Amino acid sequence: MAPLTVAGLRKRYGAIEVLAGVSFEIARGKCFGLLGPNGAGKTTTLRCVLGLTPPAAGEIRLCGEPVPARAREARIRVGVVPQVDNLDPDFSVAENLLVYGRYFGLPERVIRSRIPPLLEFAGLAGRAATGIRELSGGMKRRLALARALINEPELLVLDEPTTGLDPQARHLIWDRLMALPKRGVTVLLTTHFMEEAERLCHDIAILDHGRVIARGPARELIAAHIEPQVVEVYGEGAREWAQAHASGLSARVETAGETVFCYLSDATTLLAHLEGQAGLRYLHRPADLEDVFLKLTGRELRE
Amino acid sequence: MTMPRPPGPSLRFVAVWRRNLLVWRKLAIPSMLGNLADPVIYMLGLGYGLGALLPEIAGISYIAFLAAGTLCYSTMNSATFEALYSGFSRMQVQRTWEAMLNAPLELDDVLLGELVWAASKSVLSGLAILLVAWALGLTASPLALWSVPLIFLVGLTFGAIGLIVTAIAPGYDFFMYYFTLFITPMVLLSGVFFPAEQLPGAIQTLGQALPLAHAVALARPLLLGHVPESVPYHLAVLAGYLVVAFPVAVALARRRLLK
């Protein structure tokens, strides 16, 4: 059975319908990414899934249990890495794990035996006695990850696991997360880093205005929704150039500020043309998930 | 929407209580000073300083009168501070409750853990006053030992009322209203520092409606070695506040955190 099935989830805060019928299912041992701009309903979906807020309509089955009716029983088999750090600042690294393990009703002996391998996994070996206030942001995130694994969960839920981390710290978290599906842990993460989703997720759902607007592996989403090549053109006169020439040379053109995005299947003709344009700079690259995301959710700011 | 449920806590609240105990053990010395030394100093200062100017009250010295008042006052304060300031830190600032709710704990468990913890801490404060009173010869009767379960009940009652305030507080500043508008007037109406009979009748009646007066009405005779009058009545008022306040606190916390 799938570790998580969500069907027809609806939730409203005042006049705003935050979830307008969200449905998805996660296959066991896979990493599933929930993507969307701010306010798309990602965090609300997670809160519903964990039984922390009741949906107005819809069905949730988490680790075989109906939620919210048996959310507590379901959460016994789920680990959560929250978006905002909530480690216990008065405790050491090891005490954080010990106390958290007690919340699951685990015997003391079991928790203590799990702490050293978890610290090893999280790159925190030798830090057991360190206080939380002495940890860097990346170490705190890794400890939050270790803490979420103390109950050996079937499903690990991460809400924007690398927001605010530097590239080194982010790569280390990615590396750890990639190891989890191989151990049979199913992963559900939200992110608005497309690179993160492309690297980690076997399956992706793009959420906007409370609906799943696209679903599939990154490569399939790119193939289905967008031309395979992109040429970005910038520099003085890029907009004028675009008005005169771009649509004739590309399948689809988008302009954002001073940058022109030309989407197309074969860039040969366009690139030859651009070679002759003084003052224009350009970048030729394969289309990626970010292009799909921006096409589907628009380029306007969401605040 | 699901219908509101009555509180359905489980034994898992013990894990919440143990978490708070572990933090307390790390910070025990400053915490003891604040919770224990302060009321003792007040009791001694007022009791001997002010007491020297006063005639006996109802046949006992002022400090002997004050001991039971301080016991209840200190117990109340300890539970209140824990439920308000420490509770708010864990709910809002450190997001400790959020971490607990991601584990298989319900908000009801978390609040019950906080309530029992606040009462446990208040037992320490109350016991310290009791020990000091005993060491000074202000109480000698074995009846005084009955004040220990009373202290726990008083801690639960004020812990539960305090959790209501925490559940609706926008920030720490809000707690000043609670102290200024509720705690301080109640202390003056409840026979802590002077007999409530000194007050006009209508104000006495108001004091009788509040929980602290009933704690004092039980503690004072116990410390002096008498069996209190109307024990079931006073216990019922304290327990009544508790069984109303705790579900209200749970409902308000749910509205705040689980929306």
What are A223-254's pLDDT values in tens digits?
999 999 999 999 888 888 888 888 888 899 99
What is the value of ipTM here, to two decimals? 0.91
CA A142 from chain center: how many Å?
A: 16
Average pLDDT of chain B to the nearest whole number: 92
Query: Which residues on chain B are in Cβ contact (under 8 Å) with A99?
Result: 15, 18-19, 22
| Residue B8 clears pLDDT 70, i.e. is over it | no
Show which of residues 35-64 on chain A sit within 8 Å of chain B, judged by CB atoms. 50, 52-54, 56
Query: What spatial distance separates the first Cα and last Cα of chain A, rounded to whole Å?
Result: 38
The whole-model pTM stands at 0.92
Backbone angles phi, psi at B155, to 5 degrees: -60, -45
Query: Which residues on chain A are in Cβ contact (under 8 Å) with B106?
Result: 72
Question: In chain B, which residue ranges form alpha helices assigned H by DSSP?
Answer: 13-26, 28-32, 38-44, 62-81, 87-88, 96-102, 107-135, 147-168, 174-178, 184-189, 201-209, 211-224, 231-257
Chain A, nearest residue to B91 by Cα: A86
Pick from B223, B219, B191: nearest CA to B204: B191
What pLDDT, on the 0 to 100 scale, is given for residue B2?
41
Q: Is B259 on the interface with A (CB under 8 A)?
A: yes
The mean pLDDT value for A292-298 works out to: 91
What are B192-228's pLDDT values in tens digits?
999 999 899 899 999 999 999 999 999 999 999 999 9
A90: its two tokens? 């008065």
Q: Do B94 and A72 touch (CB under 8 A)?
A: no
| Residue A137 clears pLDDT 60, i.e. is over it | yes
Q: Is B96 on the interface with A (CB under 8 A)?
A: yes
- Radius of gyration of chain A measured on its C-alpha atoms: 22
Chain A, nearest residue to B24 by Cα: A90
Would residue A216 be called left, alpha or beta, if left means φ above 0 and alpha means ψ between -120 and 50 degrees? left
Side by side, the strands of the sheet bearing A16-26 are A16-26, A4-13, A57-62, A65-67
Q: Is B27 on the interface with A (CB under 8 A)?
A: yes
What are A17-28's pLDDT values in tens digits?
999 999 999 999
The mean pLDDT value for A87-115 works out to: 96
Mind telling me how many Å the CA of B163 is from chain A's nearest CA? 20
Chain B, nearest residue to A10 by Cα: B1
Pick from B48, B218, B67, B226: nearest CA to B132: B67
Pick from A156, A211, A294, A187: nearest CA to A44: A211
Report the amino acid identity of residue A7: A
Show which of residues 259-278 on chain A sit within 8 Å of chain B, judged by CB atoms. none
Which range among A62-71, A264-273, B66-75 shows the weakest confidence by mean pLDDT?
A264-273
Q: Do A72 and B105 touch (CB under 8 A)?
A: yes
